[in-house]
Amino acid sequence: MYSAPMLTPLRAVPAPAADSPTLPHNLDAEAALLGAMMIDNRLAEDVQLKLRPEHFFEPVHGEIYGAILKLVDRAMLATPVTLRPMFADHPALSELGGPAYLAQLTEQSAALIAAKDFAAQIYDLALLRELVRVGREMVVSASDTSQDVNPHDQIQQAELALYKVAEEGEVSNSVKSFAQSATLAVQMAERAKQSGGHLSGITTGLNALNTKIGGLHRSDLIILAGRPAMGKTALATNIAFSAAERLMKDRADQIDKTSGAGVAFFSLEMSADQLATRILAEQARISSEDLRMGKINQAQFRDLVRASAALQDLPLYIDDTPGLTIAAMRSRARRLKRQKGVGLIVVDYLQLLQGSSRQSNDNRVNEISEITRGLKTLAKELNVPVIALSQLSRAVEQREDKRPQLADLRESGTIEQDADIVLFVYRDEYYHAQKKPEDGTEKFEKWMERGIAIRGRAEVIVAKQRHGSTGIVDLHFEAVHTRFSDLADDAHLPERDYE
């Protein structure tokens, strides 16, 4: 009968003498975590949010952990082979067997199952060691009577030291003094003033929309919804491109205070090349359909090549992985934030994301609730705006007035609850084409007049906004180029309540 070999615990430091007190630590957990991370580099995305090299009890382990993070940050594979040059002449590692120790760490592949638990324990033990250090200093300070004794000062110093230990957790990231918050508010107001009084966040590329919502604000979850064929993806793509293009131009002009941002675009419906085709077609002023079908002449092809060359440095990163879970998407977003410095995240679209569990008896409403909460948490965690596209229910089609309402958000009321801004895209032209009366009648003439008046018109309905008022933003939409733009100053808008 076969029996699995016993795993030999890895010990990086000699065992302490029996009569000497030891600090809380778990060397086996440290070794197991490092081995798991070298086997599966994706673990770095989860553990590095809290765990730092100094949290390891064994200094060599901390250095190996830091080296793994450096390689992962550079999008390189972190394995015993790639780490070997970094520790070839490391004196402390030589005492453990040299670079061969790195390979030994990966022998405990069973550690993959509990890697996150090991990381949590290493972090907790580091906090306990810090508490021990603070306690010892308190004892030494309270026992020293060689100077003027002031117990109240010692108590205050002890409280400050304990609070610093507490700040090692999430408190320091989430709690800000009013002075800090007020400074951020003044900086936001300064940006709005410098932009002409209408833009305090990241630009949407549309002046009318910027004026209405002040741009895209950090930590906001923006829901962009609409029925099929309204132009949700087109508007999201236009906004993503505008933000990325602004950042690219400001970098070239060495402008520090930019209203642009690098963009992470998670496309669960369209492939990366399809999205790129849309953007290139828009910039080259070519029909995306003609481009896809190959119906372009030589001059148009040259325009396409020029547009492609001009956008080589565009900080727009497209992830078209299908079937992403909200957890996987958040992990990828954190990586892009760290590696590429993205300042805007777009998800197309929300209903194609998966929750943590996809069993047949799961409640879809609860799953959507989990997804929207996850997106809002991501926006706050990374301090970036997140635009999530969403479908609307078919109830819109049953009403005479097809303009969307908040109640039309599909599958969950928590979409409205978690969102800071809810935008609806609506094009009356689409529905007007379906109302064509009999040719030659008086109604037909009115229908034609109305069709001419609303041709190329689109509305972005601001149905919810925590920071300002709701209302309607009128835009121009070019169906051929799937492009939204501001209306001309002299454009005449038809009445909305016609019939």
DSSP letters, 24-72, are S--HHHHHHHHHHHHH-TTHHHHHTTT--GGG-SSHHHHHHHHHHHHHH
On the question of pLDDT at 166 being above 70, the answer is: no
Backbone angles phi, psi at 222, to 5 degrees: -110, 120
Which residue did the predictor score with more confidence, 392 or 15? Answer: 392
**Rounded Cα–Cα distance for residues 470 and 417 (Å):** 16
Helix, strand, or coil here: 7?
A: coil
In contact, 372 and 412? CB cutoff 8 Å = yes
Task: Report percent pLDDT > 90 for the chain.
Answer: 5
Instruction: Note the pLDDT of residue 346.
Output: 93
> pLDDT of 18-71, one tens digit each?
444 688 888 889 888 998 888 888 888 778 777 888 899 988 899 899 888 888
Please state the rounded mean pLDDT for residues 369-389.
88
Residue appearing with tokens 């003033």: 193
Provide the 10 A C-beta neighbour count for residue 88.
11
Tell me the C-alpha distance between 459 and 476, whole Å: 8
Give the span between the Cα atoms of 422 and 406, in whole angstroms.
8
For 134-163, the pLDDT digits (tens) are 888 778 777 777 666 667 666 766 666 665
Per mean pLDDT, which of 203-212, 296-305, 329-338, 433-442 is the most reliable?
Answer: 203-212
| In the predicted structure, residue 6 carries a pLDDT above the cut 80 | no
Residues 348, 352: Cα–Cα separation, whole Å: 8
Q: Can you give the pLDDT at residue 164? A: 64
Q: Based on the number of CB atoms within 10 Å of its own CB, is 413 exposed (0-12), middle (13-18) or buried (19 or more)?
A: middle
Mean per-residue pLDDT for 230-257?
86
**88-138, pLDDT tens digit by residue?**
778 877 777 777 888 888 887 667 788 888 888 998 898 888 888 888 877
Provide, for the chain, the percentages of residues in helix, strand and coil under a 3-state DSSP scheme, each rounded to the nearest 5.
Answer: 50, 10, 35
* Cβ proximity of 265 and 348 under 8 Å: yes
Scan for tokens 């638990």, then name that residue.
117
CB 261 within 8 A of CB 424: no
**171 confidence band (pLDDT: 50, 70, 90):** very low
Cβ–Cβ under 8 Å, residues 165 and 127? yes
State what percent of residues in the chain have pLDDT above 70: 78
> Average pLDDT of 178-199?
56
pLDDT in tens, 280-295: 878 777 777 777 777 7
Mean pLDDT for the stretch of residues 226-240: 86
More confident residue, 397 or 203: 203
Is residue 361 over pLDDT 50? no
